[in-house]
Structure formats: C-alpha cells, structure tokens
Amino acid sequence: MLCLPLTAWAGRAILVYGDSLSAAYGLAQDAGWATLLQARLKQKGLDYTVVNASISGETTSGGMARIAEALSAHQPRVVIVALGANDGLRGLPLAQMRANLGKIVRASQKAKSRVLLVGMRLPPNYGDAYTRQFAQVYADLARENKTALAPFLLQGVADRRELFQADNLHPTAQAQAMILDNVWPALAPLLK
C-alpha cells in the first residue's frame, strides 16, 4: 500500500516556512495570515492546502536545518520562505543569513517547488549600513535564484504602532489581512 503524507491527499500544498510573524504568535491560530491565505485560495477556487511550518523564534540556520524534512513531508508545489527577522534582531552576520536563505531556496527549487522569498526590514536603530544590507539580501537572492520576491512582509504595518501587540514586535489580528495582501501579489502568479 502506498503511504503518502496527508497533504498529498488534500491536493497541492503551499508550505509557509517562517518565524513568529507567520506562526500567528500571540493570536488565535485561525487569525494568522497563513490561515487567511487558505480562505483566500478557497474563495478564488484554487485547489491548494496551506501547511504552516513556521516556528516562533526560528532563524535562517534553524530553517535550513529542517528544510529537507519539511519538503519531504509535505511535497509542496510552492514554498513561501519568510525567515530572517530573528537573524537581524540578533545582529547575526548577514553572510550567514544569506547563505542559509540561499540553501533553503535552492533545496526547495531542487524539490520542484516554486519559491516566494518574503523580505524583511529592520528598525533604524540597527544602523543604516546593517539595515540597508539586510534588506538587500532578499532582493539579491531572489534575482540570483530567479525566484519571486515579496519585498517587505510588514509593508504598511511596520510604521503603525496600533497594529502591534504589546511587545511591539508581533502584529495584531487586525494586521494579518494587510500582511496577506503584501504576500499575495507575488504569490498569485506562482499558483497558475
């Protein structure tokens, strides 16, 4: 008897592969943007199942360490890579972050998945050079790997304090639809 992952029976999978910003940290799980993505796919008649493999606190190093298992378990048609925020907040070397993200993207492509790389930005208190170079990593990797790019996950959210929980790091439930709207324009073409 052939044994397939549950997602294989459910249709085509979209793997959301991120950190707390994608894991709905501090929210009901059904309020996060990944769950809203599933609702949008259904509304548009697109036969995909969203698998949210995001982990709060995840770095690109942790993501790289578990990507092979996630790809094998879920066999996604599309992988949304939304990692790097924790690397930046910890001031980790950008060369290491870039290498890890590159390995995640290439492993996903090798597994025949289409990839959407989702960019992140850091607050200015990390210094102009580091924040500029941090944001540039995503654009460079997308170009080099010929993959789709959503430039900034928190576009239109990051500068609005009322859209953040008390920790001032994690968006509220009210911000989740805006986050999905930041991802959707780059994701939609990959679903055809």
Q: Which of 20, 22, 54, 113 is catalytic?
A: 20
Q: Which residues pair with 164 in a beta bridge?
A: 171
Residue 143 CB partners (closer than 8 Å, separation 6+)? none
Annotation marks residue 87 as catalytic:
no
Q: How far is CA 147 from the centre of its chain?
A: 13
The secondary structure of 145-176 as a DSSP string is TT-EEES-TTTTTTT-GGGB-TTSSSB-GGGH
Annotation marks residue 30 as catalytic:
no
DSSP-derived secondary structure letter, 77: S
Virtual torsion, Cα 164, 58, 141, 12, nearest 10 deg = -90
E-assigned strand segments in the chain: 12-18, 48-52, 78-82, 114-118, 148-150
Q: Which of 61, 140, 170, 181 is catalytic?
A: 170
Which positions are catalytic? 20, 167, 170
